[in-house]
Structures are given as structure tokens and as C-alpha cells.
């Protein structure tokens, strides 16, 4: 029987604009080689541009508002299964090496392997810190120490690679699913030479987005930009982008070690690369990530190589991260659970000309449950298609961009009568998605926007009860009105 093997490689804070084959000036020869050998997805969007929530969708197939982890340091709901659990139940060996960020602990995690993954290979950031002295821990968290000619052996990314290589070699003759999850190039962006000073003196993000004055944009973005000093080029920190870029090039070399091993030891495996979100790096005057659908923040790389993937192929339509779990299950020949909110991309991998027929949805609630900063509560729901972006900000001005003619999202046309038909159609699609996924934050306020005159407030909102569908063999929820098992998950109340 043919072996089924899948290696999922991801970084933290790598936007598509930080990868060479996407037109970046950053050197990423190993990831670029993946694109030459396989398929590059041109327009892929995270489900939420924050570390934990983005990962929650990637490893459950449920949007952050559906799985419980809609802010950093918020654990998954107890009844939500990860890919590791689903694959382990099917007899697949599952290893997770690297950053997790889904156990409800702080940034580093608890160091405890969750169900579905092999404890022998578990190595979240708490496991790494436990290997260090207190002095080494302090050293590992300071960006300025990037000037100290660091040894790769000291760095988290290198230690993650070492464990991943061991997993590949020890499972080469069996079915397996391996996740290699680097924290790098996330700050403090420590890396060894020559990478630490590879981009010294250079300034990234030199696109029209760098000159955005945020006129006609939401007020929260101007507040965000003021904090960043981003609207005044003279106040921008010159060191952030070079550190991030250098660390990106270094972690690409670590990824190269994984790929070389995989091509030799498990040549029939599928290998995938992606990231959780990007970094504004002063595009639109902003920094880091947060409640925005700008490409610098929300658009991520996705590259796949291996058997059945055409070398040098390109997929140009919009794709969402939410589809990756269903794709993995499909690769292993397993059925898609009914509760999953994404679909498999295998048809598109086989035929890159085939649109998915699905938009990408991006959400936001808050950045960090433990911190008061980062803007606090910033509720956003957004939808992205090949032609448009619509972002509804519940507490602020909304955004509508015609990306086919405005690729840098400079001209907010939310109130433009010429775009009313397209805008409203996309808005209706967004509202349907919120209903379909049982968004706990849905309500009439998302529909009754200042620019949407045909919507009126109603205490009943849409008047539906929407219970979660279930797979055969799972307990059937009961209908509140009858006490009997529900016959339709969505029904008029």
C-alpha cells in the first residue's frame, strides 16, 4: 500500500511580501525552490491576522469565532478536535514540533503535549525555555542580542529543525503527518550571521502603500499609525524590517534542511509551506499585525510540492487558510467532517485554472486577551474575492476596495454610489457567512451600516435557530421547542 506522508512547515509573521518568489527583495532560496518544484498560491488569506487565532483555524478547520480561540491566550473549546486528533484516530502518526499557542497559556504555552500528537516530539516554546537558564531566557527575548554573533545551536528555530529531522527519519517507512512550526521570524527575530546583518541599512515596504495617509479610512487605523510613528517617515524605526528580513532568510535556511531531508528520506511525501500572518512594517503607516485586511498583514504564502503537484504551477484565485485542514484530510483519503468550515483544495491542485467558488473571510475581535493594549476590542468581519475587499468594523468606518484596480487598498470606496451594487452583494455574502458559521458576535448591527439604507434593525435579527450539524455517531442536539433530536440544524425559531 502506498504510504501517506505530509510535512506541514510554517513560520510566524511571514507575509507573502516577505518571500522571494512572491516578488520580495528578501532572500528565501529554499522556499522559492519549493515553488519551482510545485505550486504557488498567489492570493491566500489568513482567517485572523494574529498568531493564536490564525493557528486555531489552521489546525481545526473552524474559524476562530467557531473554535473558541478568537484572541491570543484563549484555548480551543473542549469539543473541538485538531487535525492531530482526527488523523491519530485514523492510525496516522502525528508529530508537532514548534510553536503551538493554542493551550490558553501565555505566548510560550505550558509545555504539555495536547491530545492527538506524539509527546516524544512535542516541543513548544515552553519546552525550549525549560532548557535555558534564567539568564539565557532573558538573553533570548532581547532583539538587541542579534548583534552578539549567535550560534544556531542556541536558537529555537534550529532546535525545532533538529527534532523534526529525527521525526522524519524515524517515521520514513510509515504513514505520518508532521507539523514543523517555527516562531521565527517573529520578534525578537534573533538569528546568526551572516543573516543578522544581511539587510542592515535597507528599508522594506517600498510600495505605494508606504505613502498611504489613511484619509477616508477608519479612525482606529490613524490611532494605530500614531502609535507606530508610521505616517511620518522620519519617526519610523529603521531597525524593525532589517531584523525581520534577516531572520526570515535564516529560517529559510532551516526550512532547507527539512526539505533536503524529506526529499531524500520520504520523497513521496507532500511538503507544504505557509505562515500565520504578515507584518505591516509601516505599510499604510501601521506596524505588526491586527484588525486589517491589507495584504501586508492578512495575505500569506502557500506553497505545495510533491507527488501530483505540477512543477512551477501557479494558482491565482483567492484562497482561505480555512481550507487547509480539509485538504490535509483529503490527502490522507479521509472524509471531511460535517462541522469543518473549509473545503479541500485538491481539485485546484489538480487543475490550477479551477476557481474554488469561495471567498476568503477574515475576522478580528481582539489581539490579546491578557493585554489591555493593541487597540483592545476591535470587532471586524471581512470578505475578500478576486475583485474586491469589504471590511465591516462594528465600532468604526467600514472599508471597500476594488482590488482589481487598486491592489494596494489606497482608495476606500465604501460610500461610492458607483460601487453600491457590488458592495451590497458582498455585504450580503458576509452576513450569510456569519449566519452559516454560527458567529457568536452576529447581530443586526453588522447589517445596519450607514451606507446600507435597505437594512432596518430587528430584535429578532434573522429569526433563525442555528445549531451545529454533527457527523453520524455523534450525539444529536435536542430541539428546545420539542425536546426531541433536531431534524434541521438551521430553522425558523
The set of catalytic residues is 51, 101
In the sheet with 360-366, reading across from the earlier edge strand, the strands are: 360-366, 377-384, 388-393, 399-402
Q: Is the CB of residue 279 less than 8 Å from the CB of residue 244? A: yes
CA nearest neighbour of 190 among 241, 147, 160, 231: 147
Q: Please give the C-alpha separations between residue 52 and each of 321, 361, 377, in angstroms, as whole numbers.
A: 14, 17, 16
Q: Say which residues have a Cβ less than 8 Å from residue 425's Cβ, sequence separation at least 6.
A: none
Q: Say which residues have a Cβ less than 8 Å from residue 378's Cβ, sequence separation at least 6.
A: 220, 290, 291, 364, 365, 366, 367, 393, 395, 396
Q: Please give the C-alpha separations between residue 253 and each of 4, 68, 123, 160, 221, in angstroms, as whole numbers.
A: 26, 35, 20, 13, 35
C-alpha span between 278 and 301 (Å, rounded): 9
C-alpha span between 41 and 315 (Å, rounded): 5
Q: Is the CB of residue 287 less than 8 Å from the CB of residue 280? A: yes
C-alpha span between 329 and 92 (Å, rounded): 11
C-alpha span between 179 and 6 (Å, rounded): 9
- Produce one character per residue of 246-273: b if its CB has 16 or more CB atoms within 10 Å, e if not: bbbbbbbbbbbebbebbeebbeebbbbb
Q: Say which residues have a Cβ less than 8 Å from residue 141's Cβ, sequence separation at least 6.
A: 188
For cell 434541521, name the residue: 488
Amino acid at each position: 500500500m502506498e504510504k501517506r506522508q505530509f510535512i506541514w512547515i510554517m513560520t510566524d509573521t511571514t507575509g507573502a511580501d516577505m518571500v522571494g518568489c512572491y516578488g520580495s527583495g528578501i532572500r528565501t532560496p529554499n522556499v522559492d525552490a519549493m515553488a519551482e518544484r510545485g505550486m504557488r498560491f498567489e492570493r491566500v488569506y489568513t482567517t485572523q491576522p494574529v498568531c493564536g487565532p490564525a493557528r486555531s483555524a489552521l489546525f481545526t478547520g473552524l474559524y476562530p469565532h467557531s473554535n473558541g480561540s478568537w484572541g491570543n491566550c484563549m484555548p480551543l473549546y473542549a469539543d473541538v478536535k485538531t487535525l492531530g486528533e482526527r488523523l491519530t484516530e485514523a492510525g496516522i502518526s502525528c508529530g508537532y514540533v514548534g510553536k503551538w499557542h493554542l493551550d490558553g497559556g501565555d505566548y510560550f504555552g505550558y509545555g504539555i503535549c495536547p491530545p492527538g500528537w506524539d509527546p516524544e516530539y512535542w516541543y513548544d516554546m515552553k519546552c525550549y525555555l525549560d532548557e535555558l537558564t534564567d539568564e539565557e531566557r532573558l538573553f533570548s527575548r532581547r532583539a538587541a542580542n542579534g548583534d552578539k554573533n549567535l550560534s544556531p545551536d542556541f536558537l529555537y528555530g534550529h532546535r525545532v529543525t533538529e527534532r523534526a529531522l529525527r521525526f522524519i527519519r524515524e517515521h520514513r517507512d510509515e504513514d505520518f503527518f508532521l507539523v514543523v512550526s517555527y516562531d521565527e521570524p517573529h520578534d525578537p527575530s534573533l538569528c546568526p550571521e551572516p543573516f543578522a546583518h544581511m539587510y542592515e541599512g535597507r528599508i522594506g515596504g517600498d510600495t505605494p502603500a508606504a505613502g498611504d495617509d489613511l484619509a477616508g479610512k477608519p479612525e482606529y487605523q490613524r490611532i494605530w499609525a500614531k502609535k507606530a510613528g508610521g505616517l511620518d517617515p522620519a519617526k519610523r524605526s529603521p531597525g524593525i524590517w532589517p531584523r525581520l528580513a534577516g531572520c526570515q532568510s535564516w529560517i529559510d535556511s532551516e526550512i532547507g534542511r527539512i526539505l533536503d531531508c524529506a526529499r531524500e528520506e520520504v520523497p513521496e511525501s507532500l511538503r507544504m509551506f505557509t505562515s500565520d500572518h504578515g507584518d505591516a512594517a509601516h505599510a499604510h503607516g501601521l506596524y505588526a499585525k491586527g484588525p486589517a485586511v491589507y495584504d501586508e498583514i492578512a495575505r500569506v504564502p502557500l506553497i505545495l510540492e510533491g507527488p501530483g503537484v505540477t512543477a512551477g504551477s501557479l494558482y491565482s484565485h483567492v484562497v482561505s487558510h480555512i481550507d487547509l485542514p480539509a485538504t490535509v484530510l483529503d490527502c490522507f483519503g479521509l472524509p471531511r467532517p460535517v462541522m469543518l468550515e473549509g473545503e479541500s483544495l485538491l481539485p485546484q491542485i489538480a487543475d490550477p485554472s479551477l476557481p474554488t467558488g469561495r471567498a476568503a473571510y477574515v475576522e478580528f475581535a481582539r489581539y490579546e486577551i491578557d493585554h489591555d493594549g493593541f487597540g483592545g476590542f476591535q470587532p471586524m468581519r471581512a470578505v475578500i474575492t478576486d475583485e474586491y475587499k469589504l471590511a465591516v468594523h462594528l465600532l468604526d468606518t467600514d472599508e471597500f476596495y476594488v482590488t482589481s484596480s487598486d491592489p494596494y487598498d489606497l482608495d476606500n470606496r465604501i460610500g461610492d454610489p458607483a460601487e453600491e451594487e457590488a458592495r451590497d452583494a458582498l455585504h450580503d455574502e458576509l452576513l450569510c457567512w456569519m449566519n452559516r458559521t454560527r458567529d457568536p458576535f452576529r447581530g443586526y448591527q453588522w447589517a445596519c451600516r450607514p451606507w446600507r439604507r435597505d437594512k432596518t434593525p430587528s430584535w429578532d435579527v434573522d429569526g433563525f435557530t442555528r445549531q451545529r450539524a454533527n457527523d453520524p455517531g455523534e450525539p444529536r442536539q435536542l430541539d428546545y421547542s420539542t425536546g426531541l433530536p433536531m431534524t434541521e440544524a438551521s430553522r425558523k425559531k
